[in-house]
Structure 1
Amino acid sequence: MAVISPLIGVFLIQLIGKSALVDKIGTTSIGISILCNLFMFSHVWGGSPISLTFDWLQLGEHQFELTFQWNVLSAVILTMVSIISMFVHIFSSAYMQGDPDLKRYYSLLGLFTFAMFGVLISDHLIFLYLFWELVGFCSYMLIGFWRKKEAAVSAAKKAFVINRIGDAGFMVALMALYLQFNTLSLSEIQVSFQSIDLDSSLLVLAGIGVMLAAMGKSAQIPFAVWLPDAMQGPTPVSALIHAATMVAAGIYLLVKCYFFLPDSVLLCIALVGGITAFIGAFSALTQYDIKRILAFSTISQLGYMMLSIGVSDPSSSIYHLITHAFFKAGLFLGAGAVIHSMHQVSCDICKGFDPQDIRWMGNLRKHMPKTLIGFSLCLAGLAGVPFTTGFLSKDAILTSVLAKGLNDGGIWIFIMILGFLAAALTAFYCLRMFYHIFLKDLGIANHKVCQECLVLPKEVGTRMYLPVMILGFCSLWISMTLNPFNTSGSWLQQGIGIPTLDHHEYHILAIVLSVGMLLLGLFIGYMIFIQNKAQALKKSLKVSFLYKLSFHFFYLDHLYKFGAKAIITTGERLDKIPHADEYFVKAAVVTSEFIRGFDDKVIDFFVKCFAVGNVVIGHVLAWFDKEIIDGFVKLFTRFMKLLGDIFRKPQGERSQSMIAWSMVLIAIVIGILI
């Protein structure tokens, strides 16, 4: 019942079909799932995993068994997903009230939750892949839920198509793993991993395939372009996608497959994660749509999770996945409450009014005090403010990144810098969003046209603000540990049973740096928005290339469109040329021959020169160290020995001599002073 309860709810919704009951059926089925998942969690926590195995099919000599497994990791995330889904169902009962397609909406929500449950308990990679695709299908249907909205349909197609790239990588990984281990059961692969001779090329291929799959689902650069557009779906759907289902699946898959990932693949994962964390945070700085700001923040936080896996700390990645789920669900539901309230102030003559644009908002602390409490706590968790779970999990990641950067150097220093810079940017855009929504004057009130019909926003109903408040209180540190600064002392990290790093020696430094980045971001935001300083700089930045780069998400969408247009144009032109295929093959051969010659004659020559230069420099440095540095040390030692002899011999062993020398030294000092 822990897993199939949402699916039973979907069937009941389809059978009964009364719109007045669909929300109650959906919510009840998720409530039953929560109770069952809590029971399973209590059973496997500190105990043995629970497995269910069935004979599936046999192809020749190959026997495939279907295994579902509840272990500590899957039980924790199952419980989290069911709780978040419960809050989304409750919130939706008020937010989606009156929608003519409620039956379809709640059916898709239940199927979405069930698909994620299937991903979490599947031990066999074939079935994990099937549930993985079902998650993608449900997200496609929910993003494009409002079919008459062209932007929503386009966003759904975009998410579906881009995720196919990552899913192709998943298929390649499945083939490589089967060739290597002759099975696709993760448990059997893990047992065989230490006992058979491994083909490193197959492992690298499988690792790259799994990484691509995670990059697609978890919206990593350059596949992240689908996630901001996914905001066209209903806001509760955004909460479910960003917190507990779609994007969490990619991180979960990488953690499950972590044991066979080679170091080269881990470096790629860390690099992708660091770049994604920075670009996502940088792009959130200039957005005005409240949901797009949160979407870019999700991309950034997912980058942190990938970065943690890349530095060999998957435990902190899961830690941040859980904490992020609660405060990000609270933020999206809070954003939904704000949007719902802002709809009340619009009218026919308010031209250009957008209830999702933070420039039209303001002063909602007076009109929505209950939403303010929950939203503020969740936003503090996102920014990584101390005494929140977000601070604990993010600091655990940054500590691992700091340790990796300082120990290994090289490119890891660059990745480390990206991680800490993203923390400062996160604090800045969190304060910017909070200021525009709750602190400044109501934006719509500044429009003279709108003052004639202005209706002040008001607090939403209990079913909407209560989930936000509960999720906000879940973002406080007490839900994870009693010590608000002990990032590795939470019950989750201690009991989850997956690899983590011992980085206590870097913990204090990491806290100082992360809090410093937080204060830097908050201080700059405070000076710009609250103190209204540096207006000239602010205006100049708004017309700068950096502003455009941030607002247009580094023009990734434009690059995709340009590439697609170039391919289509080239194809159309080739079709019109006689024997185009023959010319194309000849051009490809000539190009490859040129590249091969360039590699042999130019690249290899520079590589050899670089190697010889390094050897020469090494000999010079060795001579300098031996003759100059060591010689200076020896000379200094001899000088100090001589100086000691000079001062030791006149003193002798007689008291009269020592007193005489003391009197001489005192006389010299007095003479100098006079």
Structure 2
Amino acid sequence: MFLIQLIGKSALVDKIGTTLIGVSIVCHLFVFSNVWGGEPIVLSIDWLKIGQHQFNVDFKWDALTSILLSMVSVISLFVHVFSSSYMQGDPSLKRYYSLLGLFTFSMFGVLISDHLIFLYLFWELVGFCSYMLIGFWREKQLAISAAKKAFVVNRIGDAGFMVALVALYSQFNTLSLSEIQSQFAVSELHVHLLMIAGVGVTLAAMGKSAQIPFAVWLPDAMQGPTPVSALIHAATMVAAGIYLLVRCYFFLPEEILLCIALVGGVTAFVAAFAALTQYDIKRILAFSTISQLGYMMLSIGVGDPSSSVYHLITHAFFKAGLFLGAGAVIHSMHQVSCDICKGFDPQDIRWMGNLRKYMPKTFIGFSICLAGLAGVPFTTGFLSKDAILTTVLARGLEDGGIWIFIMILGFSAAALTSFYCLRMFYHVFLKDLGIANHKVCKDCLVLPKEVNSKMYLPVMILGFCTLWFTMVINPFETSHSWLQDGIGVPQIDHHQHHTLAVILSVSMLIVGLGVAYFIFILGKGIAFKKSFKTSTLYKLSYNFFYLNELYKFGAKSLIKTGEGLDKIPHADEYFVNSAIVTSEFVRGFDDKVVDFFVKVFAVGNVVIGHVLAWFDKDIVDGCVKLFTRFMQLLGDVFRKPQGERSQSMIAWSVILLAIILGILI
């Protein structure tokens, strides 16, 4: 970032940024080769001492960290290369590449921080970078509003993170994750503190990873440049929340895990349902990200964080490919517009069509990535998603109850995903070019064309990374990939449910694709489409269940309440006077009631103390002294008559024997 700012020529900033990311890939692959299957690399530096509290800068490179660092740097490299063409000519190119590099660096910091304070600092830096990049085009009011929304919504989750830090430090007297994990098995645990910490990190993850009800910021984040969307949705912002939960999984109580699973299942279904009716290509992909993140949360909730990480990595590659592919399509669609094309939106899939003919290379990469999103066999998306669904199926069949409901949500979301994937594929690549049917634009139409190699090559390479053999040899082995077995994260083996899970998953895929094929490609069900567009379900889907409206209603209600109070004459005086009267009452109650009882209690303690002291001194001690005196007198009575002469002792013995015989006779 600093090097880019020092360079005066904007023409060099893309080359510098891309080169530095390439260097980071080499470094991370070197670390990966050393820690994979071996011991982690740990770096600890003394940082701060407050009284008896010592804080260190702790960094850790283990198998999980190294694979995620490699993934983030590779995705960032593709984004940098793509941006060099996509953002060409932008007057703020230097600021763009500076923020892009800082964004990637911040995610690196989140991944390697073993101390929760530094993880939190990098966590906030990730949020700041996303705010700056979402609102990158400051002249667009929608971009500024979207950036503000992302920033504010994430502050709610971040507040939960802060509470979790306090609870964890109160319990373990440290914020080093390694030390907390080592103490966890041997320390006496306070259930309430762990519950508070679990709720806090869950809220933080829900905010960053856009889970219901905090998911409203991610669809609007599409106002930023498309390569930024690829980085946010694939490797940085939203991935940070999942990573935090995986790292903190060992101390999460069962109740919290159930809530995580429920939130993940609902989010996966609701977001997939919302994607069914969208027309903005980036907005469809945004809802698909929310849905796939729901799958990752669901996997953590059912006790299988390894499958969550598995899906996080596979999703990163095909989602980055989809967003970069969408950027290529949007870039090409801009060429067909003209000054008289009123209402034309290059991101609207209804204006697209037949792009397989005009953009064949982008078509190949985009199609493979889209197949990975839909969970089509022979893709990594099928492998990782079905690894999650296998665990969810096993939990539902074994535990029943609410887990069956969560299981149904997971499999239903899979059917919805395949439906909206084919719907988008049809509108973008199969049907006739939509703008060609525009009555005004027929004479001035410029046909779209393939983008340059800096834009289509990243999409094709990411599509190649979506093929199954990058993870396993057997395309239907949805667990025990080299990645799952090596990251050192808890893994559950439900081999007995594997076949049934694959059958159900493929069945959901076929149902979704079949319905979409029937409606869009065959053109059947026109009456159903018309009736559906006027239904409540369509409105709920298109408006994302009116979550934005609910937030706006709550905000407006608070504003109106404040404005209403302002309109009341002397409302401030009434409020101040009420506060003064209340405080006076509380003070009087404290002085006259609370203090009175405190004084009575104190005097009572003193009186009781004196009574107990008198009883101990005069009664207890008196009885002891009386008994001692009595025993002394009794001893004198028996000792003095005996004297020291043998004759007296014999005489007294004879007298005593005579008395005893007399009594007996």
Shorter-chain TM-score range: 0.7 to 0.9
1:466 aligns with 2:457: yes
**Partner of residue 574 from structure 2, selected from 564, 570, 579:** 579
Please point out which of 80, 83, 107 is paired with 1:116. Answer: 107
Check if 1:492 corresponds to 2:487: no
Letter in 2 for 1:258: Y
| Correspondent of 1:549 among 534, 537, 540 | 540
Aligned twin of 2:416: 425
Superposed displacement of residue 526, structure 1: 0.1
Aligned to 2:118: 127
What are the Cα deviations for residues 391-425 of structure 1, in whole angstroms up to 9, with x where unaligned? 00000000011011111111111111000000000
What is the DSSP-based 3-state SS (H/G/I as helix, E as strand, rest coil) of the residue aligned with 1:452?
Answer: coil
TM-score under structure 2 length normalisation: 0.86
Mapped partners of 1:484, 1:75: distance in 2: 25
Q: In structure 2, what is the Cα distance between the partners aligned to 1:494 and 1:484? A: 17
Residues 13-412 of structure 1 aligned to structure 2 (within 5 Å): 13-412=4-403
TM-align CA RMSD: 1.3
Q: Distance in 2 between matches of 1:157 and 1:245?
A: 19
Amino acid paired to 1:280? A
Contact 1:333 1:468 in 2 (8 A): yes
Tell me the equivalent position of 1:480: 471
Provide the aligned length of Structure 1 versus Structure 2: 578
Letter in 1 for 2:242: I
Structure 1 pair 370–570 and aligned structure 2 pair: CA distance change class (3 A)? same
C-alpha distance in structure 1 between counterparts of 2:580 and 2:143, whole Å: 41
| SS of structure 2 residue aligned to 1:55 | strand
| Separation (CA, whole Å) in 2 of partners of 1:364 and 1:584 | 68
* Counterpart Cα distance in 2 of 1:126 and 1:436: 47
Letter of the structure 1 residue corresponding to residue 557 of structure 2: A
Paired residue secondary structure (2:450): coil
The CA distance in 2 between the partners of 1:585 and 1:418, in whole Å, is: 54
C-alpha distance 381-102 of structure 1, shift in aligned 2 (>3 A): same
Q: Which amino acid aligns with 2:184?
A: F
Give the Cα–Cα distance (whole angstroms) in 2 for the partners of residues 584 and 494 of structure 1. Answer: 62
Q: Is the 8 A contact 1:342 1:355 kept in 2?
A: yes
Which one-letter code corresponds to 2:138 in the other structure? R
CA displacement at 1:580 relative to structure 2: 4.3
Aligned counterparts of 1:31 and 1:169: Cα–Cα separation in 2? 36
**Cα deviation digits, residues 23-51 of structure 1 (max 9, x gap):** 00000000000000000000000100001
SS in 1 for 2:505: helix
In the alignment, which residue of structure 2 is the partner of 1:516? 507
Deviations 1:326-352 (A, max 9, x none): 000000000000000000000011111
Q: Deviations over 1:64-97 (max 9, x none)?
A: 1111000000000000000000000000000000
Cα distance, 1:573 vs structure 2: 2.5
Establish whether residue 535 from structure 1 lines up as the match of residue 535 from structure 2: no
The 1:585–1:200 alpha-carbon spacing in structure 2 relative to 1, beyond 3 Å, is farther
Structure 1 pair 585–366 and aligned structure 2 pair: CA distance change class (3 A) = farther
Letter in 1 for 2:260: I
For residue 506 of structure 1, what is the aligned residue in structure 2? 497
Give the partner amino acid of 1:363: N
| TM-score normalised per structure 1 | 0.85
When Rg is computed on C-alpha atoms for both structures, the one with the higher figure is 2
Paired residue type of 1:304: Y
**Quick one: which amino acid aligns to residue 574 of structure 2?**
H
- Which of 550, 555, 562 aligns to 1:559? It is 550
CA distance in 2 between counterparts of 1:470 and 1:581 reads: 66
Tell me the alpha carbon deviations over residues 473-524 of structure 1, each in whole angstroms, 9 at most, x when there is no partner.
Answer: 1000000010101011311011111101110011000000000000000000
1:579 positional shift: 3.2
Cα deviation 1:298-333 (Å, max 9, x = unaligned)? 000000000000000000000000000000000000
Write the distance in 2 (CA, Å) between the matches of 1:285 and 1:582. 55
Whole-Å Cα distance in 2 between the matches of residues 62 and 406 of structure 1?
Answer: 48
* SS, match of residue 68 in structure 1: strand
Contact 1:123 1:186 in 2 (8 A): yes
Question: Aligned partner of 1:88: which letter?
Answer: V
Counterpart residue identity of residue 120, structure 1: L
Verify the 8 A CA contact 1:574 1:580 in the aligned structure 2: no
Q: In 2 relative to 1, CA 324–100 (structure 1 residues): closer, same or farther, beyond 3 Å?
A: same
Q: Distance in 2 between matches of 1:583 and 1:134?
A: 43
CA distance in structure 1 between the partners assigned to 2:392 and 2:304 by the alignment: 9
Opposite residue 348 of structure 2, the aligned amino acid is D
Matched-pair contact (CA < 8 Å) for 1:288–1:357: yes
Matched, 1:450 2:441: yes
Shift of residue 574, structure 1, vs aligned partner: 3.3
Deviation of residue 582 (structure 1)? Answer: 8.1
Give 1:569 shift: 1.3
Q: Which sections of structure 1, spanning at least 5 residues, go unmatched? A: 1-9, 588-674
> Could you say what secondary structure the match of 2:343 adopts?
coil
Shift of 1:542: 0.4
2:560 paired with 1:569: yes
| CA apart distance, 1:206 | 0.2
Amino acid at match of 1:257: C
Cα separation, partners in 2 of 1:582 and 1:555, compared to 1, 3 Å: farther
State the 1:448 CA deviation: 1.4
The residue that corresponds to 1:594 in the other structure is none
**2:402 & 2:561 partners in 1: Cα distance?**
38
Contact 1:365–1:439 (8 Å) recurs in 2: yes
Query: What is the letter of the counterpart of residue 167 of structure 1?
Result: D
Does the 8 A contact of 1:116 with 1:131 survive in 2? yes
| CA-CA distance at 1:452 after TM superposition | 1.1
Aligned-pair distance for 1:570?
1.5
